[in-house]
Amino acid sequence: MKGIIEIDNLVRRFGDFTAVDKVSISIEKGQIFGILGPNGAGKTTTINMILGLLEPTSGSITVNGLNVSKHPNEVKQMTGLMTQETIVDSELTAAQNLEIAARLYHLSSDERESAIKEALKEAELTDFADAKAGSLSGGMKRRLYLVKTMIQKPDILILDEPTTGLDVQNRVQMWDHIRALQQRGITIVLTTQYLEEADQLCNRIAVIDHGKVVATGTPTELKRLVSSGRVMEVITSLEEAQKVADFLKKKFKLDIKVLGEKLECFLEKDPVDTFGKVLDGLVKAKMPIISISMHLPTMDDVFIKLTGSSMRDAVGTQVSDRSNIMLKR
Ligand SMILES: Nc1ncnc2c1ncn2[C@@H]1O[C@H](COP(=O)(O)OP(=O)(O)OP(=O)(O)O)[C@@H](O)[C@H]1O
Ligand SMILES: [Mg+2]
């Protein structure tokens, strides 16, 4: 089946520089699709071409079966865009900002009134309808901007780094909002530099680096691409950590890393089987264990393996010293 957005062999050059290099992506209706990449990877350039705001050097894009170069106005009508920079008029009130957007889409007076009311409610800004946008907090401004970009009720929403610069609380609130939009049947394409955001929010992800797609898949597929292994984590106490580590090293020949009260190790072969044996061994030896768990490699590991470098906000270093699978760019 063809996706609601089909990007085929897309190239964009600026002079000699290739910002987007033979990108092909298929996005299915109803998905939250993430384009994950660091600064300068080509995310915004790609998005601008999806919306017909920038002409491709070569390649093609269809949105809902319409070729974007040939039908730019129809595509703009069915697609909302939240740009990286928040675009609201500081001097106008929240309601006035929405009013202007509604007029741009030629909504009738009645339609405008209900759309504005709904939008304010959705952004949890009903009580701030008459507050100047400039006086709102960063998170509130971003929410106002999001509902403004979808005042015409588009089928597709494109969000360019929707949470960059937001604090954790506002970020989580934005994620909930995006999930609620998906529940309403809206297809969402978002770009992000945050590995956790891609992992938590997106149904499918295209990882891009230097203008090229280096991998596409669900978060789990991407993690499994890196390795079939698992990370095992054992929590004990600070005092006992070394003792437990020595036991595991000796008995199971595992390469254990001691990180305070936490022990970590990568199980490369038959991870489930090994995990069972280790658990059994620890119980039989009456080792002082608080918890033991096993999980897939993190998105950070995925990124390191795919691109050879860590993302700017990378935090996990837990399993990056194992497994030599390196995918070609
Ligand atoms: N109009 C332009 N002229 C010349 N170079 C450009 C232009 N627009 C983008 N570029 C270059 O293309 C590359 C990709 O830029 P783009 O803005 O798409 O990256 P991005 O992934 O959105 O990055 P960020 O996370 O910083 O927003 C960058 O190296 C950028 O400098
Ligand atoms: Mg950008």
Walk me through the domains of the chain, giving residue ranges and CATH numbers.
5-218 (3.40.50.300), 228-295 (3.30.70.980)
Q: Give yes or no for residue 19 CB within 6 A of ligand 1.
A: yes
Average pLDDT of the chain is 89
Which residues, 6 or more positions from 255, have their beta carbon under 8 angstroms from its beta carbon? Answer: 249, 265, 266, 322
Cα separation, 233 vs 311, in Å, equals: 23
Q: Give yes or no for residue 43 CB within 6 A of ligand 1.
A: yes
DSSP state of 183: H
Average pLDDT over residues 241-253: 95
CA 155 / ligand 1 centre spacing (Å): 27
Ligand nearest to C-alpha 39: 1
Residue 312 sits at φ, ψ, to 5 deg, of -55, -40
Which residues, 6 or more positions from 164, have their beta carbon under 8 angstroms from its beta carbon? Answer: 84, 192, 193, 194
Residue 154 sits at φ, ψ, to 5 deg, of -75, 160
Position 1 scores a pLDDT of: 66
Q: Whose CA is nearest to atom 26 of ligand 1?
A: 39
Tens-place pLDDT, residues 170-207 = 899 999 999 999 999 999 999 998 888 999 999 999 99
Average pLDDT over residues 215-238: 88
Q: Could you write out the DSSP letters of every residue in 188-240?
A: EEEEES-HHHHHHH-SEEEEEETTEEEEEE-HHHHHHHH-S-EEEEEE--TTT
Cα separation, 146 vs 83, in Å, equals: 9
Q: Give yes or no for residue 45 CB within 6 A of ligand 1.
A: yes
Q: For residue 245, is pLDDT > 80? A: yes
Q: Give yes or no for residue 40 CB within 6 A of ligand 1.
A: yes
The share of the chain scoring above pLDDT 90, in percent, equals 75
Q: Give yes or no for residue 84 CB within 6 A of ligand 1.
A: yes
Q: For residue 318, is pLDDT > 60? A: no
